[in-house]
Amino acid sequence: MIIHGNAVVYLEDMKTTCQERIQNDSVDLSVTSPPYMVEKAYERGMEWPEYLDLLWTAYEEIYRVTKPGGYFVINFGDQARGKALRGTETHTTIPMSVFHWDAGTGFGFELQATRIWRKKFHKMGIPFVCNHYPRPVYDYEHIWTWRKGDGVGKEKVHDRKLSQRGVLEFKGDHPLKRYRSAFPIGLPEWAISVYSDPGDLVYDPFAGSGTTGLAALRLGRRFVGSEIDVELEPLIREVLVT
């Protein structure tokens, strides 16, 4: 476990954190980027059904711990890709939006907004070819906002200027520029500013290097994270004190 100020990160499966450490209906906002199933090191050996199970578990657990009226902002890749998807030697890709829609609505979330994050082109690597078979790379990702409605009325959205944009671009890199799967600090800063208040509880079930935790601390929120890879502990510690 890592504790820094109002942030705590548990080095364990997100299901354990949700079931054993976070009370039901207590989280104001979750912000996360789950594994994308694109053959990253932390996905190796994972089969497609197992991946879908992880996605559904994440939506189920996050729904349960979210306050009525609370939000869940998820950043995900447009396609899953790899040989494991169909259990064959053929490389394939699967569009992910419908799986997210299915899981989110399946557990009761209301879909509030779908946005595109336009990534920095020069960060994509050279040569960069969109839709290049068999390893497509995309210069955009999805950012969806879910809400645990439960009959709760008016939406809490703080910055109309920020929230009305359909295509987002984020300033700032990962604070330490050392973790390839990290999102830029501007992404969780945007989500936290728009969908929560100072003092609120923010959760990241797939904390990675702890970028959401740092954004939450900078913006005066409380933070809980889960990260299954214990080897990330030193990096998370470094990020949180940045």
Ligand X SMILES: C[S@@+](CC[C@H](N)C(=O)[O-])C[C@H]1O[C@@H](n2cnc3c(N)ncnc32)[C@H](O)[C@@H]1O
DSSP 33-53: ----SSS-GGGTT--HHHHHH
Beta carbons within 8 Å of 5's beta carbon, 6+ residues apart: 217, 240
Q: Which stretch binds ligand X (CB under 6 A): 99-107, 149-157, 191-199, 220-228?
A: 220-228
d(CA 164, CA 157): 10
Counting contacts by CB under 6 A, is residue 22 touching ligand X? Answer: no
Interface residue with ligand X, options 22, 27, 28, 33 (CB under 6 A): 33
Binding mask 164-183 for ligand X (x = CB under 6 A): ---------------x-xxx
- Angle formed by the axes of helices 48-65 and 97-106, nearest 10°: 40
Tokens 């476990």, residue? 1
Tell me: does residue 236 bind ligand X (CB under 6 A): no
105: its two tokens = 């609505």
Would you count residue 128 as binding ligand X (CB under 6 A)? no
Stretch touching ligand X by CB under 6 A, among 83-91, 129-137, 206-214, 215-223? 206-214
Among 7, 9, 29, 35, binds ligand X (CB under 6 A): 35
Specify the stretch interacting with ligand X by CB under 6 A; choose among 79-87, 126-134, 193-201, 205-213.
205-213
CB of 129 to ligand X, least distance (A): 23
Output 156 or 218, the one with its CB closest to ligand X. 218
The C-alpha atoms of residue 55 and residue 81 are separated, in whole angstroms, by 15
- Classify residue 119 as exposed, middle or buried by CB count within 10 Å of its CB (0-12, 13-18, 19+): middle
| Nearest CB to ligand X, comparing residues 53 and 150 | 53
Are the CB atoms for 156 and 69 separated by under 8 Å? yes
- Chain residues that interact with ligand X, rule: CB under 6 A: 13-14, 33, 35, 42, 54, 179, 181-183, 205-206, 208-209, 211, 226-229
